[in-house]
């Protein structure tokens, strides 16, 4: 009568969304001040003032049919040119507007890219811990998801990676800074990864694509540099989103950039255009295409996230929690104090702490803490993290 798989995807909410809904219910019962919701990656930092200024300017434009009208399916040319120039300025990537495709955010970027590439029997590799929706997007194309377990300190496990590449491997998804661990993969690791990819591409006689999911690129701390994959590996496709960097997650705006050095780059780009069309994406939201071009050099208040990270990390270290200090994104991935992450999350829940158990991220025994919340809430939550730790010491 209807599609059973879609029904399941729609009726079984993701663990993250489930916890978030639980939090809203709990807040209604116990009062908002007694719920510490660390579940969602919804930025609490406001959009930069330049976003409002750009919107104000655009909506006062006399001809609304230009501002709100269809753009070309790939996106407005001037917007693509602005983005392409900026990519070249930062990474000398030789990008052109004709290899940029504007999208409705990172999820759209990934879905479209995967559909554009997918052929019969294809497999895509993801590195744990990973954003759970990767499995959904890959599943939608009919391809197989191959999971690589985490390396030391949540780095890339390159030994397992090398052993799991087959002739059917079409591509891999790299997400750095990583959701949920906050880890930024080092240049040394990236170079080693690319060496494996090059040798395997050669062995199997076809490119293995790197799909870079980069919504957290701008959110890094301590002056760290995130390697830009196009500079290391030719068959790279970047899936970018402004959701986190400009605090616009609901507006659904991002892009796909195909590396000019990519094998058959132009045809891959056409496949991207076709996949966007096929999935019902007519064009990316037109007003926000122009907003992100206006705000190409802007970022939200990254320092606010850094203050949150430091407060949380210092306290949790004191209480004896085990974690890798995040260098980017706004997530802390903490070892649960018992083997079962769900049981640990449930015990935390009783104290009002909403922490996402790690199983759906492809790793057992951890919880994700989203610290894109108010400094004050983190501060007030610390005694509860202490109580939680002590409850296991007893």
Nearest to a second copy of 155, 308 (CB atom): 308
Among 125, 257, 268, 334, which residue interacts with a second copy (rule: CB under 8 A)? 268
Q: Tell me the HSE value of 283 on the side-chain side, using a 13 A CA sphere.
A: 18
Among 264, 318, 340, 346, which residue interacts with a second copy (rule: CB under 8 A)? 264
Nearest to a second copy of 106, 154 (CB atom): 106
Listed residue (249, 191, 222) closest to 42, CA to CA:
249
Strands 353-354 and 36-37: parallel
Strands 209-213 and 169-174: parallel
Alpha-carbon distances of 24 from 14, 144, 250, rounded to whole Å: 16, 35, 19
Quick check: 7 binds a second copy (CB under 8 A)?
yes
Nearest to a second copy of 155, 259 (CB atom): 259
In the complex, the smallest distance separating the C-beta of residue 335 from a second copy, rounded to whole angstroms, is 28
In the complex, the smallest distance separating the C-beta of residue 156 from a second copy, rounded to whole angstroms, is 25
Q: Are 262 and 46 in contact (CB under 8 A)?
A: no
Among 25, 30, 32, 59, which residue interacts with a second copy (rule: CB under 8 A)? 59
Among 25, 52, 191, 350, which residue interacts with a second copy (rule: CB under 8 A)? 52
In the complex, the smallest distance separating the C-beta of residue 30 from a second copy, rounded to whole angstroms, is 21
Secondary structure E strands in the chain: 36-37, 100-103, 123-127, 144-148, 169-174, 209-213, 236-241, 254-258, 331-335, 353-354, 356-357, 366-370
Give, for 91, the enclosing helix (H) or strand (E): helix 77-91
Q: Are 146 and 126 in contact (CB under 8 A)?
A: yes
Quick check: 11 binds a second copy (CB under 8 A)?
yes
- For a second copy, the binding residues in 328-347 under the rule CB under 8 A are none
Among 81, 144, 164, 206, which residue interacts with a second copy (rule: CB under 8 A)? 206
CA separation for the pair 381, 23 (Å, rounded): 14
In the complex, the smallest distance separating the C-beta of residue 392 from a second copy, rounded to whole angstroms, is 33
Listed residue (125, 103, 121) closest to 113, CA to CA:
103
Quick check: 55 binds a second copy (CB under 8 A)?
yes
Q: Give the three-class secondary structure for 41.
A: coil
- For a second copy, the binding residues in 218-247 under the rule CB under 8 A are 247
CA separation for the pair 343, 358 (Å, rounded): 11
Kindly give, in sequence order, each residue whose CB lies less than 8 Å from that of residue 151, ignoring residues fewer than 6 positions away.
157, 158
Among 270, 322, 387, 392, which residue interacts with a second copy (rule: CB under 8 A)? 270
Quick check: 368 binds a second copy (CB under 8 A)?
no
Among 80, 234, 244, 252, which residue interacts with a second copy (rule: CB under 8 A)? 252
In the complex, the smallest distance separating the C-beta of residue 182 from a second copy, rounded to whole angstroms, is 20
Tokens matching residue 67: 């501002």
Tell me the residue length of the chain: 394
CA separation for the pair 328, 11 (Å, rounded): 32
Q: Which stretch binds a second copy (CB under 8 A): 178-186, 284-292, 317-325, 377-385?
A: 284-292
Among 19, 116, 238, 378, which residue interacts with a second copy (rule: CB under 8 A)? 116
Q: Which stretch binds a second copy (CB under 8 A): 28-36, 42-50, 149-157, 361-369?
A: 42-50
Nearest to a second copy of 113, 155 (CB atom): 113
Q: Give the three-class secondary structure for 108.
A: helix
Quick check: 140 binds a second copy (CB under 8 A)?
yes
Quick check: 64 binds a second copy (CB under 8 A)?
yes
Torsion of CA 286, 288, 294, 300, to 10 degrees: -170
Quick check: 355 binds a second copy (CB under 8 A)?
no
Listed residue (351, 387, 369, 343) closest to 34, CA to CA:
351
Among 26, 104, 329, 336, which residue interacts with a second copy (rule: CB under 8 A)? 104
In the complex, the smallest distance separating the C-beta of residue 68 from a second copy, rounded to whole angstroms, is 5
CB count, 10 Å around CB of 283? 19
Quick check: 31 binds a second copy (CB under 8 A)?
no
Among 93, 126, 230, 275, which residue interacts with a second copy (rule: CB under 8 A)? 275
Q: Which stretch binds a second copy (CB under 8 A): 30-38, 64-72, 154-162, 353-361?
A: 64-72
Quick check: 102 binds a second copy (CB under 8 A)?
no
Quick check: 156 binds a second copy (CB under 8 A)?
no
């Amino acid at each position: 009568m209807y599609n059973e798989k879609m029904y399941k995807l729609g009726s079984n909410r993701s663990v993250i969304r489930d916890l978030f809904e639980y939090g809203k219910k709990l807040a209604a019962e116990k009062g908002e001040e007694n719920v510490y919701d660390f579940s969602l990656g919804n930025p609490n930092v406001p959009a930069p003032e330049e976003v409002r200024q750009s919107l104000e300017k655009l909506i006062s434009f006399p001809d609304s049919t230009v501002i709100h009208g269809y753009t070309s399916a790939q996106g407005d040319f001037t917007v693509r040119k602005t983005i392409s120039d900026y990519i070249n300025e930062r990474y000398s990537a030789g990008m052109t507007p004709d290899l940029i495709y504007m999208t409705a955010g990172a999820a759209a970027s990934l879905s479209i890219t995967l559909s554009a590439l997918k052929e019969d029997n294809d497999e895509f590799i993801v590195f744990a811990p990973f954003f759970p929706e990767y499995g959904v997007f890959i599943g939608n194309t009919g391809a197989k998801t191959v999971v690589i377990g985490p390396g030391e300190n949540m780095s890339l496990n390159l030994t397992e990676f090398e052993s799991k590449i087959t002739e059917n491997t079409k591509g891999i998804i790299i997400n750095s800074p990583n959701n949920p661990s906050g880890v930024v993969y080092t240049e040394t690791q990236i170079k080693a990864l690319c060496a494996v990819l090059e040798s395997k591409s050669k062995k199997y006689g076809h490119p293995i694509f790197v799909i870079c999911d980069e919504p957290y690129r701008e959110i890094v701390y301590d002056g760290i540099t995130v390697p830009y994959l196009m500079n290391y590996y030719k068959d790279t496709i970047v899936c970018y989103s402004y959701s986190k960097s400009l605090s616009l997650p609901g507006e659904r705006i991002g892009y796909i950039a195909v590396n000019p050095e990519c094998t058959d780059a132009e045809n891959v780009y056409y496949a991207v255009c076709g996949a966007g069309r096929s999935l019902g994406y007519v064009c990316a939201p037109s007003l926000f295409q122009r907003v992100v071009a206006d705000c190409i050099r802007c970022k939200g208040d990254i320092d606010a996230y850094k203050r949150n990270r430091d407060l949380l990390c210092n306290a949790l270290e004191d209480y004896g929690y085990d974690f890798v200090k995040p260098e980017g994104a706004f997530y802390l991935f903490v070892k649960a104090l018992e083997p079962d992450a769900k049981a640990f999350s449930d015990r935390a829940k009783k104290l009002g702490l909403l922490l996402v158990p790690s199983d759906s991220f492809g790793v057992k025994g951890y919880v994700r803490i989203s610290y894109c919340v108010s400094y004050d809430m983190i501060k007030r939550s610390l005694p509860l993290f202490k109580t939680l730790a002590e409850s296991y010491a007893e």
